[in-house]
């Protein structure tokens, strides 16, 4: 069975999201669309969070989210535990996000990404794999609890300050 990629967009990324569907199908992959369904004004956090949570819950391995700039959806997705969303502007940033950061969500902006680059960015991101090695240590650090999540925020701050000395 082909991998199913979670996808989502707001109104400003809707047209590009429809392009994403075609590209995924050309690559032999399926997709699940978490919305939006048209170009009516809507709030990007709703759709970015839905995609990110589906990955965090293990329903999908990877996702692609689009808004006007890509900034809002990447910021929203990265607030979900286990998500490493990368805002990519070209093939190189897409490749590096996979090689060095093990990104599991690709974000880009419909208004800020040349239409001809979209298939290249997506294919580079889909085809690349995580290098591991020294990058594993760094990715593990990204997944550590944030201050205040588990335990006392002030205790974590004290530990951080002590390590910094």
Structural tokens at position 36: 């939006």
Q: Counting beta carbons within 10 angstroms of the beta carbon of residue 105, is it exposed (0 to 12), middle (13 to 18) or buried (19 or more)?
A: buried
Which residue is catalytic, options 27, 42, 89, 100?
100
Contact present, 56 and 85 (Cβ < 8 Å): no
Which residue is catalytic, options 67, 88, 107, 135?
67
67 counts as catalytic? yes
Distance CA 93, CA 70 (A): 14
27 counts as catalytic? no
3-state secondary structure of 89: coil
CB atoms closer than 10 angstroms to residue 135:
14
Residues catalogued as catalytic: 67, 100
């Amino acid at each position: 069975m082909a991998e199913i990629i979670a996808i989502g967009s707001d109104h400003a990324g809707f047209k590009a999201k429809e392009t994403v569907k075609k590209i995924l199908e050309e690559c032999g992959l399926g997709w699940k669309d978490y919305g939006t369904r048209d170009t009516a004004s809507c709030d990007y956090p709703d759709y970015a969070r839905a995609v990110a949570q589906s990955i965090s819950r293990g329903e999908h391995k990877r996702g692609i989210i689009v808004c006007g700039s890509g900034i809002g959806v990447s910021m929203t997705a990265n607030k979900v535990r286990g998500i490493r969303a990368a805002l990519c502007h070209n093939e190189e940033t897409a490749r590096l996000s996979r090689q060095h950061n093990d990104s599991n969500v690709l974000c880009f902006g419909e208004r800020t990404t040349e239409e001809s680059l979209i298939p290249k960015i997506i294919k580079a991101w889909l085809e690349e794999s995580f290098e591991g090695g020294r990058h594993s240590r760094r990715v593990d650090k990204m997944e550590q609890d944030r201050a205040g999540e588990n335990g006392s925020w002030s205790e974590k701050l004290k530990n951080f300050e002590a390590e910094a000395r």
